[in-house]
């Protein structure tokens, strides 16, 4: 990973005043933050349990989250006749529970796409998480959406 990460203009403006907002003249504190990433043109060779678990570990370290349990949903151990064959269902999904919530990932082998949701009641560097995810999966595009949950 390069030493200097590029600021992603798509989310740079969304990071301003993340911790609170004013609604009806009252200050409302955010409960949590969610980063939604749509990654396309990815390296599908990384869509396996081992690489995804490593991704979770490195991402959690990078954004200072405590990784807890990981659960996978895929065709591992499923008889060939019962495995997924459609582009929108063939892939690996996983939930990585973190101390402050979860990271969910869906990979689609045939579409070379990855969909990630990072939700935490603890603040984190969304730009860093997006840049790392794009680099990890070697995505040609990354479409981030940042949400403040309250």
Per-residue pLDDT band at 20 (split at 50, 70, 90): low
Q: Whole-angstrom Cα distance, residue 75 to residue 78?
A: 5
Name which CATH class applies to 40-75+83-105+124-150. Answer: alpha beta
Q: Does the pLDDT at position 96 exceed 80?
A: yes
Question: Cβ neighbours of residue 61 under 8 Å, at least 6 residues apart?
Answer: none
For residue 29, how many C-alpha atoms fall within 13 Å in the half-sphere facing its CB? 4
pLDDT in tens, 104-124: 999 999 999 999 999 999 999
- Tell me the domain boundaries of the chain: 40-75+83-105+124-150
């Amino acid at each position: 990973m390069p030493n200097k990460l590029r600021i992603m203009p798509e989310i740079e403006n969304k990071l301003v005043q993340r911790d609170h907002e004013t609604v009806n003249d009252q200050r409302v504190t955010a409960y949590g933050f969610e980063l939604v990433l749509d990654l396309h043109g990815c390296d599908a060779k990384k869509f396996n349990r081992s690489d995804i678990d490593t991704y979770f570990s490195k991402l959690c370290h990078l954004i200072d989250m405590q990784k807890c349990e990981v659960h996978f949903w895929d065709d591992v151990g499923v008889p060939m006749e019962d495995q997924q064959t459609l582009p929108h269902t063939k892939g690996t999904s996983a939930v990585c529970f973190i101390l402050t919530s979860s990271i969910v990932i869906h990979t689609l082998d045939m579409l070379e796409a990855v969909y990630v949701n990072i939700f935490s009641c603890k603040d984190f560097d969304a730009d860093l998480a997006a840049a790392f995810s794009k680099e990890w999966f070697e995505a040609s595009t990354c479409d981030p959406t940042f949400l403040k949950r309250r």
